[in-house]
Amino acid sequence: MPGAKTLHLRHAVFDFNGTLALDGALLPGVASRLRALAKRLPLTVLTADTYGTAAKTLGRLPVTVHTVRTGRQKARFIARRRSEGAAAIGNGTNDALMFRAAALSVAILGPEGLSAAALQSATLVVPSATAALDLLLRPRRVSATLRK
């Protein structure tokens, strides 16, 4: 990333519903991008699992899934894993604290919407999960967007 220091991501953390999935079903193009990104970074999905589908839907993908209930739990997860190397991707109010804890936060304005709290806490805003994953797969896009 531009600025005084270089950002070296060490892991990426995702919300599930509204971010990688809609109504509990994985969005098109997400699985292949998660597979590609997992070759570069460990991937974790933190979810309240509103539809009860996360474990089954993500079961064959190279991600670790944790069920959480609150935004504070998401933020604590990031903080325990060297937040200076964390990318956080989400769309909900319960993602705002996680966004503040992460080195890079990407808010998704997708079909489920984007909470104002997440928007205000995000580093970047993109229109879809695939766009967010592509930012991580092609980091020069992040540099180009955040260049001063």
> How do strand 21-22 and strand 25-26 relate by DSSP bridges?
antiparallel
pTM above 0.85, yes or no: yes
**Enclosing H/E stretch for 104:** strand 104-108
Q: 12 with 89: CB under 8 angstroms? A: yes
Contact of 79 with 103, CB cutoff 8 Å: no
Residues of the chain with pLDDT under 70: 1-5, 83
pLDDT tens digits along 75-92: 999 998 776 789 999 999
In the chain, what are the domains?
A: 11-57+72-146 (3.40.50.1000)
Cα torsion at 127, 44, 18, 75 (round to 10°)? -90
Task: Report residue 4 as tokens.
Answer: 């005084």
